[in-house]
Amino acid sequence: MFDENQQVALSPYHVAAIRMFSCGIVMVPFIYNALKTLPKATIKYILLSGWVGSFIPAFLFCIAETKIDGSVAGSLNSLTPLFVIVTGVIFFNIDTTRQKIIGVLVGLLGCVLLTLAKADQIKSFGDIGYSGFIILATVLYGINVNMVHKRLHGVSSMQIATVAFTGLIIPALVVLWITGYFQLPLSDKKYLISSVAGSVLGIVNTTVASVLFYMLIKRAGGLLASLVTYGVPLVAIGWGIYYGEKINFLQVTSLLIILSGVYIAYRQKKS
């Protein structure tokens, strides 16, 4: 994370760990009620969901974005629906339809084109390898979506988020300790601002968003919930327009292809 002079204040490991620690701390007040009615057999799946769906991907994204642009990472994040289908078939014996596969593949094509449209943002060929961290994160997202839908169907979204995130407090502290975070001059302005920013990112962008996402998985199903990631590139381009970035024709075309994929995947066939 950078300070106001664009100097590195915190490492990607610090940022990810602060984010996860903040998620856990904010959910501590709810842990008693969450555990009170929680079936014991589900706890292991909830804790695993915290690691697979949040903890590990947080580090993968932070590491990747030291070498690739955030908008490129956002575009690659739209691979999630494809891996929901792949991991669902491989690990959870979940059936799918040809129509959904075609829709996801069309959306994937749009994501590939969108990445190519922003290829100039990748600094060097060697840095392209860092996109593999994002791809691995989307694989983990796919596994998590299927696991929540299949194994945690009767557990409330608030219970999942509470137990999953509080279970990450100690691992996050361990990472902060090992990486030397507590030896930094944390009272200095740049470290203080970066730490607060990381905490806000964890509380708002991870905790709140995860609760809403868990709700969507349980109400709409894994694949439909995962298709919201197709909106990430749209939001990224929207912010680019706001900040005066040049948007080219290929980017707009890519977004239209992505939206077409969503339509195909969930178009209702006429009887």
CA distances from 54 to 34, 61, 162, 256 (A): 19, 10, 13, 29
Taking all residues of the chain, what is their mean pLDDT, rounded to a whole number?
Answer: 82
Q: For residue 181, give both structure tokens.
A: 């975070």
pLDDT in 10s for each residue of the chain, 271 residues:
545 444 557 999 999 999 999 999 999 999 999 999 899 999 999 999 999 999 999 999 999 888 877 766 777 787 888 888 889 888 988 887 888 888 888 878 887 786 676 655 555 555 567 888 988 999 999 999 899 988 998 888 899 999 999 999 999 999 999 999 999 998 898 899 999 999 998 888 788 878 877 777 766 666 666 666 666 666 766 666 666 656 678 777 877 887 788 778 767 654 4
- Phi, psi values for residue 118, rounded to 5°: -110, 20
Residues 67, 134: Cα–Cα separation, whole Å: 12
Query: pLDDT by residue (tens digit) across 170-200?
Result: 999 999 999 999 999 988 988 999 999 999 9
Q: Where are the domains of the chain?
A: 12-264
Q: Chain centroid to CA 89: how far?
A: 21
Query: pLDDT by residue (tens digit) across 228-256?
Result: 666 666 676 666 666 665 667 877 787 78
The three-state secondary structure class of 255 is helix
